[in-house]
Amino acid sequence: MTILPIDAGRYGTDAMKEIFDDQKKISYQLEIEGAVAQAQSEIRMIPKSAAQNIAQMARSGKITVKRVKQLEAKSDHDTAALVEALSEICKSSARPWIHYGLTSNDLVDTSNSLQIRDAISIIEPKIAKLAIILAELAVKYKDTPAVGRTHGQHASIISFGLKFANSSLEMAKHIERIEEVKKRILICKTLGVVGTGSLMGAKALEVQKRVAKKLALFPADVTTQVVPRERYAEFIFSIALIGATLEKLAVEIRNLQRTEIGEVAEPFKKGQMGSSAVPVKRNPVKSERVTSLSKLLRSQISVAFENIPLWHERDLSNSANERFILPTGSILIDEMLEAMTIILRRLYVNEEQIRNNLEFTKGQIFSEFVLEALIKKGVPRFEAYRDIQRVAFAASENRIDFKDAVKNDSAISLHLTEEEIDRIFVPENHLGASGQIIRNVYNLVKKSCFKFS
């Protein structure tokens, strides 16, 4: 019986979900057992023949979820069941050395790191791809003047490409953040019951260092029985932060797709239905999905933070919920990246409507530039401000064009000629440094994302 939509195949890619599959989890933990045995034999802690047999059997693929669960039904301990299953297929001479010096969370926490490592290897290229798509859209629309809105109101003129450039650079910064956080979250821990490496003694750190290298992880500097949960909280926070940027993009697309704005639209395939009742609707459902999943992803942060203060050297109050938040968080961000990539690759941009919206206020969007022109003529700022406000409010009340109202006002026309006023009301004249900003962003994104794309 399927309960969660993730299990039903509704969200997340197969590649990401495979990382958190039960059989894959067992494979990760067996890989750790094999790596530990090999590392211990390299420094003559255990017999080489035993290590070879343990590593060979750990990687044989003979240990199944079914068998581990059968043993767990008796022991009520999943890690003990896995170790017992490995013992069943190893030589009798190797069995005493299986799991030597380890505790359950050496496997659990280190396998969590392997899962996170592989999840990141899926996430990073998708972030990079999205950053590049956004950068290319920024360049494409860098010379397109559009309404810039603050507080939901028309404020001033913006390059439409600048909207994409902002999010493009933030996606690239997420790559930087992930690269920086790897050394703190991809931790190998093999220090036993309370983090002392007691059974392995003075050689415990050397074993851990060698295992970490074999697994492409970073050796823990200090732990209790568990890796400090600050590490997992940082991972969950990092992917939730990516989700928040995706949500920011989604909210902008949803707003710009509103009927009364109509500047963009999500792709709408043949046969798609926007509404079961209204045939003409084209709803921004993918952007709404990103928004919805971002809320769920963010909620995982509080759980991860609650797991930080464990009792003494550890308790189990984190264990059950981490079985949810680590796979769920990874699968959700994967789904959100996939959805946003689909949206942006085929985003419809209505340049005609963008131009129409510039005229929605009958020219009042140019008031900032009228103010600037008067100031440059020597008119005190607040005198000019009040004159423009007076003219603009009267123009709105009388439903006349703001440019005409400016030309007909004696206080303003005393300082500005008709030709000067006409030049002010050309939107392409007011893109400022947008072109250079966008080119800079494009170059930064290409440089930082090239190796991942």
- Residue 4 pLDDT: 85
Sign of the four-CA dihedral 435, 440, 441, 445: positive
What single-letter amino acid sits at 422?
D
Active site residues: 151, 275
Give, in order, the Cα–Cα distances in Å from 317 to each of 114, 188, 192, 304, 306.
Answer: 22, 21, 19, 11, 9
Burial class (CB in 10 A: 0-12, 13-18, 19+), 205: middle
Instruction: Provide the pLDDT confidence category of residue 92 given band limits of 50, 70 and 90.
Output: very high
DSSP of 369-425: HHHHHHHHTT--HHHHHHHHHHHHHHHHHHT--HHHHHHH-HHHHTT--HHHHHHHT
- Residue 281 pLDDT: 65
Give, in order, the Cα–Cα distances in Å from 414 to each of 379, 420, 422.
Answer: 11, 12, 15
The total number of residues shown for the chain amounts to 453
Q: Output phi, psi for 153, to 5 deg.
A: -110, 155
pLDDT digits (tens, 9 = 90+) for 26-41: 999 999 999 999 999 9
pTM of the model as a whole = 0.93
49 pLDDT exceeds 90? yes
Give the residue carrying structure tokens 């899926």: 122
Instruction: Provide the pLDDT confidence category of residue 131 given band limits of 50, 70 and 90.
Output: very high
Which percentage of the chain shows pLDDT scores above 90?
A: 93
- Residue 324 pLDDT: 96
Average pLDDT over residues 183-194: 98
Average pLDDT over residues 274-296: 82
Q: What is the mean pLDDT of the chain?
A: 95
Instruction: Provide the pLDDT confidence category of residue 282 given band limits of 50, 70 and 90.
Output: confident
Q: Give strand ranges (E) for 153-275.
A: 153-159, 187-188, 218-219, 264-265
Instruction: Provide the pLDDT confidence category of residue 137 given band limits of 50, 70 and 90.
Output: very high
H helices present in 257-380, as ranges = 285-306, 319-345, 351-358, 367-376
pLDDT digits (tens, 9 = 90+) for 318-349: 999 999 999 999 999 999 999 999 999 999 99
Average pLDDT over residues 388-405: 95
- Residue 272 pLDDT: 62
Average pLDDT over residues 431-445: 97
Q: Output phi, psi for 147, to 5 deg.
A: -75, 130
Instruction: Provide the pLDDT confidence category of residue 276 given band limits of 50, 70 and 90.
Output: low
- Residue 270 pLDDT: 65
CB within 8 Å of 335: residues ≥ 6 apart: 11, 12, 13, 293
157 pLDDT exceeds 70? yes
Q: Give CA torsion, residues 283, 286, 291, 296, to 10 deg.
A: 130
Taken in order of first residue, the domains within the chain and their CATH numbers are: 14-97 (1.10.275.10), 104-268+278-357 (1.20.200.10), 364-424 (1.10.40.30)
Helices 78-89 and 48-58: crossing angle, nearest 10°? 110
- Residue 8 pLDDT: 80
280 pLDDT exceeds 60? no
